[in-house]
Structure 1
Amino acid sequence: MAHDQMLLSHRFHVYFELQVPGTSSGTGSFLSKMAPLSRLPLGFSPLDMRFQRISGIGSQLDVTALRQGGENVGDIHLPEHVSHKPLVLERGVLSKLPSTPMSGLFESGLGYFLNGYADIQVVLMDSRERPTCLWYIRDAMPTSWSLGDLSAAGSNVLIEKLELSYRWIKQVPVKL
């Protein structure tokens, strides 16, 4: 049946690759010419892999409507540029949170204005923990960090929200 191919469970992992400002990368990209960066894989941290929710994966082509003279039927749409919503990662807060590479990236960017970039891979897993889909997100920069509401009246899990703006996203095929 067709619904056998649908993913009924959403398990995913997130992997980060840090770009450190001030060192050469040799990639020749536009960003490396503006501010040389070196790509370093972030140290393995299970806390930086597992999130409760991810949103903001997607792209949108912004267009300008141009009205053609003598034509009252419709507009011509001219492409402007591609934009992305911020990538939002949500996870529960642990009581004794050790410093992780991702939390260090957020702390340096939002606390000391020493912004770095990270490349992110979001991997969707099936029920047997095998990869089924992968999205590669390039040049993500921390832009916001927030905690959920603190309330003594409830027993809800405290949620940490990490928000990143990114330049480019691509879905990568996964071989099963």
Structure 2
Amino acid sequence: MGTDRTDVIWHGRGGQGAFTASKILGAAYTLGREQGSALAFPSFGPERRGAPVRAFTKLSPSSVRDRSEISDADFTVYLDRDLMSSVPARGTVLVNTRESFGDSRVVSVDASGLAAEVLGAPIANTAMVGALAAVWGGVSLESLYLGVENAMPERLWEKNKRVIERAYALAGGRI
């Protein structure tokens, strides 16, 4: 992690879209008005759907050259509450849950509920992207729309943009 770089670790299960979330954020940061550099990549083995996976996003106004996994992130995002065994020592944590935590660094987001309402399925990844963007403040809502268009099939754009917009608005008030 460099002083001008923002690092994000995404924790999810296979099929929950952790890598897609990472790609949306990276594309938004590079294609939108931020015009920065991003690197988005997954970390998983031969596991099947439902197995724990991680994805990483590195965002910087200058070129991102470091391709190593992130161990100490500015933001840690849990698409599945069951994957969070403890709160990381540093950074802001966003968790897909209705549960409240006694730590001001932890932001609870009912992303599954929001996604179920808008998408008809509890696929939390784009809601967590919207919440992260609002809490961070480093990427605009309009840029996130470009990220969706870059990382998802066109048939999914409209509803996922709505999910992002709603989560962004909710998280602006720290949900």
Q: Same fold (TM over 0.5)?
A: no
Q: Which has the higher strand share?
A: 1
Q: Which has the higher helix share?
A: 2
Task: Place the TM-score, normalised by the shorter chain, in its bin.
Answer: under 0.3
TM-score w.r.t. the length of structure 1 is 0.24
Higher-Rg structure is 1
TM-score w.r.t. the length of structure 2 is 0.24
